Structure 1
Amino acid sequence: MAIQLEAYQWIMILISIIGTVITTIKILWGRIEENLNNNFQVMQNKLEDVAKQSAQNSDDIRDLERKFYKFQIDLPHTYVAREDYIRGQTVIEAKLDALASKIENVQIRQGMNKP
């Protein structure tokens, strides 16, 4: 059993298939475009939120910068640098060594003077 179709019937089937494919492509393209528009809108909303937050954060950042600059100004007055501390300790130890040697010399002299 063979199916025999006339030329106009083949043309109608071909037109139907092509119409179905084109309609499917249009529907899918419409959905893709709608999804892209939604994604762009969401991104735009997020960017606007970030812009609002950055305006609020800029005040916080300026406040932190002021506090940091104040800390940098107060730092030399509050803390001693390691090199300065070592230099001070060296001077104190040298003075203590000199004092100890003087006391030792005094003890030796007093020891010699005793009969």
Structure 2
Amino acid sequence: MTFSLDLWQTIVLIAMVLGAFIGLLKLLMTQQTKHLDDSFKVQGQRLDKIEQASAAEAGNWQRMEREILQLKADLPLHYVRREDYAQTIATIMAKLDAMGMRFENILLRGQKNHE
């Protein structure tokens, strides 16, 4: 059994093998390109979600910063330091003691005048 090919049959066979190889290579390249496109698409979606989360977090931090600044601005208006409170109470107590002494003096003078 002999196997013989003419020149044109050999050229056609080589062209068919090359065509099949090129077709297979093209198919693999399109699949690879599709896979890369899908990967980039998923990565882009992840990055978009991260950007949205980052923007929301930045908004929360700005809100917290505003609230803290508002608290710092309101703090002197609504709260009294312990030293200031103690000084104010001491002043009030001294004034009450002075008033008590005056009333005692007035009462003592009144008792002397009635006797």
Range of TM-score over shorter length: 0.5 to 0.7
| Pairwise CA distance, 1:52 | 4.0
- Structure 1 stretches (4+) deviating beyond 2 angstroms? 47-52
- 2:69 is paired with a residue of what secondary structure? helix
Could you tell me how far apart the structure 1 residues matched to 2:84 and 2:57 are? 39
Partner of 1:107: 107
- Structure 1 or 2, whichever has the larger Rg, is 2
The TM-score, its normalising length taken from structure 2, stands at: 0.53
Partner of 1:21: none
CA offsets 1:40-76 (integer angstroms, 9 cap, x no match): xxxx8xx855554233111111111011101101110
Partner of 1:98: 98
Could you tell me how far apart the structure 1 residues matched to 2:62 and 2:96 are? 50
- 1:93 is paired with a residue of what secondary structure? helix
Partner of 1:64: 64
Tell me which amino acid in the other structure corresponds to 2:105. Answer: N
Could you tell me how far apart the structure 2 residues matched to 1:102 and 1:63 are? 56
- Give the gaps of 5 or more residues in structure 1: 1-43
Tell me which amino acid in the other structure corresponds to 2:91. Answer: V
CA RMSD of aligned residues (A): 2.1
Could you tell me how far apart the structure 2 residues matched to 1:50 and 1:100 are? 72
Count of residue correspondences = 71
Could you tell me how far apart the structure 1 residues matched to 2:97 and 2:87 are? 15
Partner of 2:87: 87
| Pairwise CA distance, 1:114 | 1.4
Q: Identity over the aligned pairs, expressed in percent?
A: 34
